[in-house]
Structures are given as structure tokens and as C-alpha cells.
Amino acid sequence: MLTTLGAAIASSALVTQASGRPSPPAAVSKTELHFESLSSVAKQIESRKLSPVELTEKMIARIKSIDVNLHSYVTLMEERAMSGARTAEKEIRSGRYRGPLHGVPIGIKDLLFTAGVPTMGGTMVLKDFVPDFNATVVDRLLDAGAVILGKNTLCEGAMFPYHPDLKVPVNPWDKDRWTGVSSSGSGVAVAAGLCFVSIGSDTGGSIRYPAAANGCVGLKPTYGRVSRYGVIPLAETLDHIGPMTRTVEDAAIVFDAIAGYDKNDPTSRLEPVQAVRPQLSKGIKGMRIGYDERYSTERVEPGLAAALKLVLEKLASMGAEIVEVEMPDVSKVEAAWWDLATVEAAAYHRPLYQKHKELYGPGLVEVVEYGSARSGVQYANAQKIRSEVAGGVNAMLSTVDCFVCPSMSNTARAKVADPYKAGSEESWRQCVVNDVHTKAFNFAGSPTLSVPCGFSSDGLPYSVQFVGGALSEAVLCRAGHAYEQASSWHTKYPDI
């Protein structure tokens, strides 16, 4: 049975900032089964202490019970998930164990093609679109034995606003707070114990912002390292596909399963993939980690800036060398990104938009109209800025093994009064105070890793971002894993 969970207008109680709201729920450390890591449940499944069928049943029951209030899934694939779980259990019992994803229930962002399942991309114009093939990433996850629970909610067309006829994901730490941009449903599902992994996408921060807002791990691989074939695009030259998980080890497991060349994606990288998970134990002694204090503290919440300093101290105590570096000028990045992303989005949507404009929400209407109105000169100027920034980022990253900065300049802020409003600068500024920590790394195609690094005084997650040169996912995961093992932030869950 396929259950559509998001085809109704969200109630005003969830889209209006509440006055005098109660304090958000305190973090809990007790690890119930649904909050365990992928690697933990994988060991239990491999040893046959845990049944994939029973685990999937429990997760479906939890989604039906909890997600009615969180809206992290737009489609629940109950029958297909149970069939996949039964197949996994038979294979494992017969000695055909495929690896750590075998029999593990996961979610996928609803812009990855899933054969025979509606793939809406957060839109109503695609509400009846049912692809007849899987995205390459979906096939690779199925080949690894993963059990797909359903499709996670996202912003319309993977841009900032949501379509007004679809429900908006709710932050499990505080229902009145933002959940991040496009991969918001994926972040909520992982954080709330509604799947062990979700696949997200990132064009300008859409893995990192929801990872930060919901307190989970997000890995944005090098551009082209993970295939985009069968993925509804936002902006094809900026889109990255990657995992959102509970731990860095879990992100490494998923990356190892989905990374690699794909002949169907002409932007796919040819270099062989070296498995990341086996390299996590190498530690970080002698690793050169860059830090730009101005970039990481200017217009950044003081508590978060202080938390980042503690991250650096912890990394240094484990043998890393902290190196002062300087980010290139990013003052023009946001405007250039908007020109590039909207033009490329308009190129994809224009045929549908011309026929069915009435099915588009106000936010995506603004994107398509703005992008369609840009001239070739304006697009070329934006590409020039992109090339200059990418060159500066790559030059800086060439001097260190990785770079540390915030994933987002602030904790999840109160929801904008109208989340369906067109993506104006004013409404965006209510979500991200200083939008300089993500888009430059899409310009450069750099891999990034977001990891929880503390909590604010009002109980909301902080997140640190590790950034590296092309194909440095193993280095980033080593650094993130070392920090994670020396702290306990990843063991805290929202008390739902």
C-alpha cells in the first residue's frame, strides 16, 4: 500500500509563530531501537538478533503514530517495504548477507525516481508522475539490501518555499522552529527516529541546513561523486546527492554504497571510489585543519561560535594541527547563486510551467519567472563569480587537509509567518541570519560533512561543518568521526 501523507493544507497552528511557546523538549540519551545508529542495527541484523521484518513493522507503526504530527513523509511505501524486509530476512537466513544496509529501513527524498511510486518533487504539477525506473542511487541502495520505507517531504521543486497544498515538516526539537530547506523531511525523519538513513540533495545548503536544524549528520559528497541520474533537478550544475544519518560512520556506510561512476550521468566522476568506512579508525593525528575566525564568528550566534572553538580544542587534543586560513570573498555568492539556480530551475520547469502554471505554488512561480527573465549576460556574470569563488575556495583548501566552519550561522529560528510565501530575501533572513557558509562550497563542488556539536541554551542543536578538497570524503569522515567519538552530542535525541 502506498499512503500519501502530505496532500492537505497544513493547519495554521503549525505555520504561525506561537507567542509564549513552551520551552523545547529536553534531549534524551536513552537509545531506544528506533534511535539506534545504522551500524548498530546492522550488527544486530547480521547476527540475526534482530529481524528485518520485525524492525520494519516497528518503524512503519512509529511513522503512522508519530509522523501524523511531523509530516516528514509524503508517501509511505508500506507493502513494498514489508516485501523488501521479508526478502532481506530470507537472504540473510540463507547466508547471503549483502552488508550493513541489508534489511535496514531507510527513507529517500521525494525527488529521486522510484519505479511505480509517485515522485512529486514537492510539487503539485508532478503529483501524478509515477516513474517506470529507479534513480541510480535508489538502485544502488536496493542492491545493498536496504528497505525503503517511503518518500520524504521537501520544499517545492527543492527551492525554499513549500507548496501550499502540501504539509510542512515539523522540527522534532520544537514544533515552532524551522526544519531547514529542501531536505527538511529527510532531516526530520532521521532526527525523530522514523528511519535510520535518508537520502537528501544539496544545491545551496539543503543537506546542511536541515542537518543543523534537526541535529543529525549530513554528508554532501564531491559534485559528480554520486549519480544524479533519475533525480528531479533544481540546478543541475550545483546539485549534490548525499546521506543524512545519525552518525558519521553511518554516513560513510551509505556513501560507500551509493558513490561511483554512472554511465547514465555525464557529470559523474570517473575516479575509482575507495571505501570510506574502513578509514575511520586512522584517527586525525597530524591532520591539518583550517579555520578562519572571522568567517566562522562574524554574524554567527555567540553560543555556536563558542561551540566551534570547543570543537577545535577537541580536535587539537587528539593530535590535529589547527591552521589559520582565509576564505575568499563570498559577499557576491548569494546573488550569483540565485541567478544561476533560478535560470537552471527555469530551464527544467519551463515546459511544464507553460502548460500548468496554475499548479505551481507562489515560491516556485517566483523562481521560474525570475530565472526566465535573466539575460545571457547576467548568467555569464554569475558564472564568472562562481569560477572566481571556486578558485579561491580550492586554493585555500589545498593548504590544509580540511576546513572547519559552521553548517549554519544560527540555530533553527522561529518559522516564518507564512512558509508558502515566495522566497523573498526578508523571509529567508528570518531563517538564516548570515547565509555565507554553504553556497560557496556548491560553487566549488567541495565535499562537506555536518556534525552535531552541542546545544543552545534553549535546547536547539548546533552543527559544525567539515569541508575538503575534491574527493576528500574519507578525510572529512575521519575528522568528523574522531570528533564524534570524543563527544556525546550524537547520542542526544528529541523527546517526542
Q: Looking at residue 13, what is its pLDDT?
A: 25
The Cα–Cα gap between 325 and 346 comes to 37
Q: Looking at residue 23, what is its pLDDT?
A: 47
Any idea what the Cα angle at residue 472 is, between residues 410 and 341, rounded to 5°? 55
Q: Looking at residue 4, what is its pLDDT?
A: 53
Grid cell in block for residue 359: 499548479
- Transcribe 409-422 into DSSP letters: SSSPPBPPS-TTS-
The Cα–Cα gap between 331 and 347 comes to 26
User: Residue 329: CB partners within 8 Å, gap ≥ 6?
Assistant: 389, 392
Q: Looking at residue 14, what is its pLDDT?
A: 24
CB 350 within 8 A of CB 367: no
Identify the DSSP state of 364.
Answer: H
| Residue tagged active-site, from 51, 109, 184, 227 | 109
- Transcribe 40-104 into DSSP letters: HHHHHHHTTSS-HHHHHHHHHHHHHHHHHHH--EEEEEHHHHHHHHHHHHHHHHTT----TTTT-
CB 204 within 8 A of CB 337: yes
The Cα–Cα gap between 452 and 411 comes to 11
Strand bridging mode 73-77 / 2-4: antiparallel
CB 287 within 8 A of CB 402: yes
The Cα–Cα gap between 485 and 286 comes to 18
- The full set of domain ranges for the chain reads 2-7+29-494
Query: Is 167 designated active site?
Result: no
The Cα–Cα gap between 175 and 436 comes to 26
- 2-7+29-494, which class in CATH? alpha beta
- Transcribe 2-43 into DSSP letters: EEE---SPPPHHHHSPPTTPPPPPPEE----GGGS-HHHHHH
Backbone angles phi, psi at 52, to 5 degrees: -55, -35
The Cα–Cα gap between 67 and 198 comes to 15
Q: Looking at residue 26, what is its pLDDT?
A: 59
CB 53 within 8 A of CB 87: no
Position 44, amino acid: Q
pLDDT in tens, the chain (496 residues): 666 554 432 322 222 223 334 445 557 666 799 999 999 999 999 999 999 999 999 999 999 999 999 999 999 999 999 999 999 999 999 999 999 999 999 999 999 999 999 999 999 999 999 999 999 999 999 999 999 999 999 999 999 899 999 999 999 999 999 999 999 999 999 999 999 999 999 999 999 999 999 999 999 999 999 999 999 999 999 999 999 999 999 999 999 999 999 999 999 999 999 999 999 999 999 999 999 999 999 999 999 999 999 999 999 999 999 999 999 999 999 999 999 999 999 999 999 999 999 999 999 999 999 999 999 999 999 999 999 999 999 999 999 999 999 999 999 999 877 776 766 666 888 899 999 999 999 999 999 999 999 999 999 999 999 999 999 999 999 999 999 999 999 999 999 8
| Residue tagged active-site, from 39, 51, 182, 201 | 182
CB-side exposure of 133: number of CA atoms within 13 Å? 7
Strand bridging mode 240-245 / 217-220: antiparallel
| Residue tagged active-site, from 39, 186, 206, 409 | 206
Q: Looking at residue 460, what is its pLDDT?
A: 97
Q: How far apart are the first and last CA of the chain?
A: 27
Helices within 357-445 (DSSP H only): 362-373, 376-397, 425-429, 439-443
Number of Cβ within 10 Å of residue 322's Cβ equals 16
CB 189 within 8 A of CB 157: no
Q: Which of 405, 412, 473, 480 is nearest to 439 (CA)?
A: 405
Burial status of residue 213 (CB atoms within 10 A of its CB: 0-12, 13-18, 19 or more): buried
Q: Looking at residue 242, what is its pLDDT?
A: 98
Any idea what the Cα angle at residue 327 is, between residues 323 and 328, rounded to 5°? 145
Query: Is 182 designated active site?
Result: yes
Q: Which of 85, 87, 60 is nearest to 73 (CA)?
A: 60
- Partners of residue 106 on adjacent β-strands: 148
Q: Over the stretch 281-298, which tens digit does the pLDDT of each residue have?
A: 999 999 999 999 999 999
Supply the pTM of this predicted model: 0.94
Query: Is 109 designated active site?
Result: yes
The Cα–Cα gap between 398 and 439 comes to 19
The Cα–Cα gap between 90 and 6 comes to 33
Q: What is the CA radius of gyration of the chain?
A: 21
Position 7, amino acid: A
- Transcribe 264-293 into DSSP letters: T-TT---SPPPPSGGGGGG--TT-EEEE-H
Q: Looking at residue 368, what is its pLDDT?
A: 97
